[in-house]
């Protein structure tokens, strides 16, 4: 059993040289990275009560970034002082991530592995699954593997795309065919999960939803914002029960 879909991995391996090009094929990720990071930091602070009064810090946390790509999320988390491990099934992605973190003078452990291949003896406080579940081979195995790697009371962020007519128009027709933000064929609409479907899978594997928010792009202001509208991009913050 594996979560690795070789065709999906090859897609991103072919684009690996463009991870840090803000005008390249990963432009959409660079555009909505700030809103994702803002949300993640806020929820981590609240959950672990990180503040001056409690004398808790991000440096006390171990974070696992699954499907880390070139390190677009791993690096900001490492700058907060956390111990970050980034894993990706694409060898090329990991090489790019390693090179960029070295250039940025950041100590991040990058491994060319999928979650089920990690040693479950090591546990993490936070797991990041950002735009990954729509690309894995076995979502149930994927979530179970995450559960095994998360500490008791640890939290997980799962960001993906809803399976709606709106998401088909915006995420595939708009982003791939019209705006050409992404290569045609990057996403398979049939693999998108509705929030209730993803929550059901999380609950079945002993996760409790703490919060869910939509992420919406405003073309007029050219920026992303949080919203209660889950019709396209959304993110679920859940904790291990």
Burial of 196 (0-12, 13-18, 19+ CB in 10 A): exposed
Q: Does 194 reside within a domain?
A: yes
**pLDDT for position 223:** 85
Q: Does 227 reside within a domain?
A: yes
Q: Does 48 reside within a domain?
A: yes
Whether 129 contacts 150, CB under 8 Å: no
Q: Does 31 reside within a domain?
A: yes
Task: Give per-10-residue mean pLDDT for the chain (241 aa).
Answer: 88 89 86 94 96 83 97 97 97 97 97 93 95 94 96 96 93 78 81 96 97 90 91 96 89
Among 67, 81, 59, residue whose Cα is nearest residue 29 = 67
**pLDDT for position 166:** 93
**pLDDT for position 149:** 97
Q: Does 198 reside within a domain?
A: yes
Q: Does 1 reside within a domain?
A: no
Contacts of 200 (CB under 8 A, 6+ apart): none
**pLDDT for position 120:** 80
Which residue range is the domain that position 118 belongs to? 6-240
d(CA 183, CA 18): 12
Q: Does 79 reside within a domain?
A: yes
Instruction: Output the pTM of the full model.
Output: 0.93
Helices (H), the chain: 6-14, 27-48, 74-79, 91-103, 139-149, 165-167, 195-204
The total of structural domains in the chain comes to 1
**pLDDT for position 27:** 83
**pLDDT for position 237:** 98
**pLDDT for position 15:** 85
In what helix (H) or strand (E) does residue 66 lie, and over which residues does it extend? strand 62-66
Q: How many CB atoms lie within 10 A of CB 178?
A: 11
Q: Residue 65's beta-bridge partner residues?
A: 86, 128
Cα distances (angstroms) measured from residue 14 to each of 4, 19, 69, 151: 16, 11, 12, 34
CATH number (domain holding residue 222): 3.40.50.150
């Amino acid at each position: 059993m594996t979560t690795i879909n070789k065709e999906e991995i090859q897609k991103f391996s072919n684009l690996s040289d463009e991870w840090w090009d803000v005008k390249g094929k990963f432009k959409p990720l660079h555009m909505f990275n700030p809103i994702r990071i803002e949300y993640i930091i806020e929820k981590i602070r609240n959950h672990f009560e990180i503040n001056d009064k409690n004398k808790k810090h991000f440096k006390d946390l171990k974070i696992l970034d699954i499907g880390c790509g070139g390190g677009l999320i791993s690096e900001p988390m490492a700058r907060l002082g956390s111990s970050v491990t980034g894993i990706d099934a694409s060898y090329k992605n990991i090489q790019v991530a390693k090179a960029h973190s070295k250039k940025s003078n950041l100590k991040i452990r990058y491994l060319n592995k999928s979650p089920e291949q990690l040693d479950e003896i090591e546990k993490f406080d936070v797991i990041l699954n950002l735009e990954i579940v729509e690309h894995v081979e076995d979502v149930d195995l994927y979530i179970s593997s995450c559960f095994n790697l998360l500490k008791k009371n640890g939290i997980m962020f799962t960001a993906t795309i809803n399976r709606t007519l709106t998401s088909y128009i915006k995420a595939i027709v708009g982003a791939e065919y019209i705006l050409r933000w992404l290569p045609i064929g990057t996403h398979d609409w049939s693999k998108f999960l509705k929030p209730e479907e993803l929550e059901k899978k999380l609950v079945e594997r002993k996760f409790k939803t703490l919060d869910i928010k939509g992420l919406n792009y405003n073309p007029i202001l050219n920026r992303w914002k949080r919203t209660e509208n889950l019709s396209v991009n959304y993110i679920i913050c859940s904790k291990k029960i």
